[in-house]
Amino acid sequence: MKEIIIPLSRKKITLLFLGAVSFVVLCFWLIQIAETQTRFDPQYVKIIALVGIIFFGLCGIYAFAKLFDKKPGLVINDEGIIDNSSAVCAGLIKWRNITNVSITEIYDQKILTIEVDNADEILSKQHGFKKILMNLNKNYFSSPVQISSNALKCNFQELHDTIKGQLSVRHIAQQRI
């Protein structure tokens, strides 16, 4: 099989970075007007804004760092899928462990769920916040491995068709053996 490389999209990552920075600025503005607005309790507004600053600040930092990442976002080869597309990327997912590929939709955002038979093994290799997020993925979406096209130089349909097609080729080849 010819190796398929899907690079990270600097344009998409730049837009994600600018979006995160915009939300951080908006949250700072909310803190500034918290005492003068009358619709909500000022403490509530400040807490929500602070949570927003932390969340979108971390997203912005991650996006900024990802802009300088030289590794491809996704590599598809004979061994499996090497995922480097997000903060909760799984690394190498071997074909023999992939049982299915499905689509998960969250608020009109499509994400590719890579269902695996070794979820606990994948989770055991993770640490810290990444492990927590991947465990949440496993609990809510049946797999710790979720791949979005948000930072990749392809659209979701291309991502889905490529991975689903390669999985089908592997299953057909395996049945012949």
Q: Are 83 and 62 in the same domain?
A: no
Q: Are 40 and 125 in the same domain?
A: no
**Quick one: pLDDT band at residue 167, thresholds 50, 70, 90?**
confident
Residue 3 domain-assigned (yes or no): no
**Quick one: pLDDT band at residue 175, thresholds 50, 70, 90?**
low
171: pLDDT strictly greater than 70: no
Q: Which domain holds residue 46?
A: 9-66
Q: How many domains does the chain have?
A: 2
- pLDDT, residue 168, reads 84
Q: Give the strand pairing for 91-94 and 80-83.
A: antiparallel
Decide if 41 contacts 70 (C-beta within 8 A).
Answer: no
**Quick one: pLDDT band at residue 63, thresholds 50, 70, 90?**
very high
- pLDDT, residue 6, reads 96
DSSP 51-62: HHHHHHHHHHHH
Q: Are 145 and 96 in the same domain?
A: yes
Q: Are 100 and 157 in the same domain?
A: yes
**Quick one: pLDDT band at residue 16, thresholds 50, 70, 90?**
very high
20: pLDDT strictly greater than 60: yes
Q: Are 48 and 126 in the same domain?
A: no
Domain endpoint, select from 39, 66, 93: 66
